[in-house]
Amino acid sequence: MNLSKLPKTNARPAKRVGRGGGSGKGFHTVGRGQKGQKTRRKIHPLFEGTKTKKSLIQRLPLLRGKGKLKSLQTRRIIIDVARLEVLPDGASVNIEALLKHGLVGREAVRSGVKILGNTKVTKKFVVSLPVSSQARRAIESAGGTIL
């Protein structure tokens, strides 16, 4: 390695602020000005400049009432494999078919459906919904398929 043929660089190291006079960044105020909030500490990200104006967090509406601590997420509706026996043999199992046969309500369209259970199934179904591993075994052992 020839030291005389090294590439030239112009990059300087970053100045270390607040580490004394020999740090290369001034001394007493180290580039922060003289007085004020920004010279002493970081400003909180929710601070909006005045005491009188309400902050964003205070302006947002509160959830009030009995369910204010409950999650806003919806859970899937669970159906047992045995309840699919209402459907005809070879039927495709989806939310529309379950709605048509009265196995779920209208809220299933929004929250979704999952099929659980390990009971025996006698009919073949083509399932296009999420299923558990035991429900998968029961449907496939009866000759059905899961998409």
**In the prediction, which pLDDT does 46 show?**
78
Q: Where are the domains of the chain?
A: 77-146
- Bridge partners (DSSP) listed for residue 80: 116
Q: Which residues of the chain have pLDDT under 70?
A: none
- The pLDDT tens digits of the residues spanning 39-60 come to 888 888 878 877 777 878 788 8
- The pLDDT tens digits of the residues spanning 3-17 come to 888 888 888 877 787
**In the prediction, which pLDDT does 31 show?**
82
With a CB cutoff of 8 Å and minimum separation 6, the contacts of 46 are: 55, 56, 57
CATH architecture of 77-146: Ribosomal Protein L15; Chain: K; domain 2 (3.100)
* Six token digits for residue 29: 């105020």
**In the prediction, which pLDDT does 95 show?**
94
Distance, in Å, from the CA atom of 43 to the CA atom of 106, rounded to the nearest integer, reads 49
* Six token digits for residue 35: 């007085």
Distance, in Å, from the CA atom of 15 to the CA atom of 19, rounded to the nearest integer, reads 9
- Residue that is written with structure tokens 């602020």 in the block: 17
With a CB cutoff of 8 Å and minimum separation 6, the contacts of 71 are: none
**In the prediction, which pLDDT does 96 show?**
94
**In the prediction, which pLDDT does 7 show?**
87
